[in-house]
Amino acid sequence: MENPLYHTVKIGNVIIPGNLFLAPLAGFTDKAFRSICLTHGASFTYSEMVSAEALSRDSEKTRLLMERADNEKLLGIQIFMSEEDTARRAIPEILKANPTVIDINCGCPVPKVVKNGAGAALMKKPKTIEKIVKLLTNETDIPITVKFRSGWDLNSVNFLEFADYAIRGGASLLTMHARTRSQGYSGEANWELLRELKNNFNVPVIGSGNIFTPRDAMGMLKETGVDGVLFARGAIGNPFIFNRTIELLKTGEELQEIDLKVKIITALDHLNLTAGYKGEDTACREIKKQLCSYTKGEPGSAALRNKIVHAKNMEDYRDIFKEYLA
């Protein structure tokens, strides 16, 4: 008998081994970070957001976003577009990556995305999501899922209507960030809307918004009845949140806070993985914001972050961290 809080999730014909998901985060959830999160208990991970238009134009840089990490048996590829024709042109490249799940982004609030009618802008034309999902479900047996917000703004909270069109198109799972597009990432996520979404549809529902601790995850699962939770900003620099949440959900007891030395060792593992995938120069340039996040809240972390920002190569990083590993 499965634990009522920590359990498998069925997405179409795919069984996910647990219900703690890593959100797709542009600039963060590359295959190195996804690998680290899987090592620390994530049940399922998503690629960074992938432009269907760029894929249809044979962008090598975009194609690289869909590559699996070495320990990534399952992978959700999240794509964004404004209409179904773009999805039609991109599908051959998406299928080459052999995703476990294809997720459609209808929640990104970034102006450069929404101004082209993609991301959260799709909330304003819910009939379009039915067309996009239907096209993809007709082209492949891979489950199609949809991630969206509660609405465009507080005057157009239309998540139930939007979800209904997604289900009509054949969506196998719904993920909702319980904020409107106009809220961005500020204010409180309205978890009560997640309960309403779950109560109105039979497919699995994953909840997102205001999950920064294991207790937050447990609270969302208990209060809303959603099938799983999606960790986003709460996992940056904190891949430990997955195993800590599993322990809480299974036993009701929280593990101790992670020791700084363990954080530093994990940060160095993250750096080495990134260098292995992208090369030293790119890794040392791109990893700064990630490594800084590992030390957030620690005594003396401001000075440590200042050193990280000025590091130029692997040797610099190792010199910075070695005093913490003694």
**Tokens read off for 29:** 């959830």
Rounded to whole angstroms, the Cα distance separating 20 from 324 reads 31
Rounded to whole angstroms, the Cα distance separating 201 from 157 reads 17
Q: Which one-letter amino acid corresponds to residue 191?
A: W
Rounded to whole angstroms, the Cα distance separating 295 from 1 reads 39
Rounded to whole angstroms, the Cα distance separating 239 from 235 reads 5
Active site residue 37: no
**Coil, helix or strand at residue 228:** strand
Catalytic one of 106, 108, 284, 292: 108
Rounded to whole angstroms, the Cα distance separating 97 from 28 reads 20
Residues in Cβ contact with 304 at an 8 Å cutoff, skipping those fewer than 6 apart: 295, 298, 320
**Phi, psi at 224, each rounded to 5°:** -110, -20
User: What amino acid positions are annotated as catalytic residues?
Assistant: 108
